[in-house]
Amino acid sequence: MPAPIPAAVVTDHLREDNIMKTPLPDDPRIAVIGLGYVGLPLAIEFARHFPVVGLDIDPARIDELERGIDRTLEVPAEDLAAARTRFRPTIDPGALRACDTFIVTVPTPIDRFRQPDLGPLRRASETVAGALTAGAVVIYESTVYPGATEEDCVPILERVSGLVCNRDFSVGYSPERVNPGDTAHRIPDIIKITAGSTSDTADFVDALYQTITRVGTYRAESIRVAEAAKVIENTQRDVNIGLVNELAMLFHRLGLDTDAVLRAAGTKWNFLPFRPGLVGGHCIGVDPYYLTQKAQAVDFHPDMILAGRRTNDGMGRYIAERIMKLMTQRCIGVVGSRILVLGATFKEDCPDLRNSQVAAIVGELQAFRAGVEIHDPWADPAAVQAEMGVEAVAAPAHGAYDAIILAVGHQCFRERGAAGVRKWLREPGVLYDVKAVFAPTASDERL
């Protein structure tokens, strides 16, 4: 990743003589760049008030949206239909030229070396820059390290457009807080942090987001503050889950049931209700690496953050090793065995496979030449095959498996119950309950 732009260059964008010469939009014409889990719900909410162009690079995604289908299940078909007159999904970057307010919601993943990958964000900035005109505002929602908007994105916007930030156009930041599969916390019910590169832009961004939230906004002191606030939201959760995962491994050695210990400790009013498990998805397992990369760039080593990451990244291997040990104790050979994993998505009751740590369990078992299958009614079978390299079975056969791992606590698995799940086992099969869905005596072991 390129070194950050020197501080002198960054602050040059904020000089007092760089004063916007063109008024900010009075009646915004919005473009949302990236129509995934974050961008589509945002575009639909804004389309209740403004004309919105939604740009995505996936033609299949645009085709589905034009037919009223959202594969992420975040936006109901009736909401897509209601937005049809104000929302235009497209793969054509030329459509952005009709807009003056650009909201970037592309992914900010990590690469195979767990380094931040700003490629999608940089490419989106280049696309937006090609449509920039005087007075435009570019707002970023993608999760980044503190300083990325002004250090990485603004120079691209200026270079490609030929315009100057805070003189000809300005930038804002309002971090996404989407929680896939959560029907209680939707965009209108989430406080939105807002920030801008000038005071006028900060006012504009804050007023814009107030149109789509019922619970208000929080105006941060600067873009860097807003970026930092977002990245620590999930870093905090990651560290706490890492602690509880480590405790779960300790309690197993001590012969204690982790769930029982957490329930007892939870009777204290200020005990934090974190639970052990697999940490995946687009945020919690990714955001800490953005913060640690920035920390290391300023010669600071974040011991606690990285310790939590090491623990959480190792949970897939730990669970696979526990399964194989239980199988061996029952004289079940791992090589050539048949193992069923229940759940592939990164969390319950949603189709999101991004960064699912179920893949780590599968990979470890396959390394020991076990045969692995996945059953997940929420996940697209083709996507499971592509992401994890294993078959997704629609209906597991009764009495066919040497071991079953309940990896994701989908409601359909809870309703089936331990007895129903055990019907898929052959004797003396092993049932491992990662999510503590069933009673302690109903499974052979649980995390």
Rounded average pLDDT over 207-213: 97
pLDDT band at residue 402, thresholds of 50, 70 and 90? very high
The structure tokens 């280049």 sit at 126
Single out the catalytic residue among 283, 331, 350, 412: 283
Rounded average pLDDT over 326-349: 97
Backbone angles phi, psi at 279, to 5 degrees: -105, 105
Would you state the pLDDT for residue 18?
63
Would you state the pLDDT for residue 180?
86
Is residue 283 flagged as an active site residue? Answer: yes
Per-residue pLDDT for 101 more than 50? yes
Rounded average pLDDT over 249-257: 96
pLDDT tens by residue, 369-392 = 999 999 999 999 999 999 999 989
Q: CA 36 from chain center: how many Å?
A: 10
Among the ranges given (55-59, 177-181, 202-206), the one the predictor scored with the smallest mean pLDDT: 177-181
pLDDT tens by residue, 409-422 = 999 999 999 999 99
pLDDT band at residue 282, thresholds of 50, 70 and 90? confident
Per-residue pLDDT for 240 more than 60? yes
pLDDT tens by residue, 49-65 = 999 999 999 999 999 99
Backbone angles phi, psi at 12, to 5 degrees: -60, -30
Average pLDDT across the chain, whole number? 93
Of residues 369, 367, 429, the one with CA closest to residue 397: 429
pLDDT tens by residue, 130-161 = 999 999 999 999 999 999 999 999 999 999 99
DSSP state of 116: B
Rounded average pLDDT over 342-357: 95
Would you state the pLDDT for residue 447?
93
Give the number of residues written for the chain: 447
Q: CA 400 from chain center: how many Å?
A: 35
pTM of the model: 0.91
Rounded average pLDDT over 211-233: 97
* Percentage of the residues of the chain whose pLDDT score is greater than 70: 96
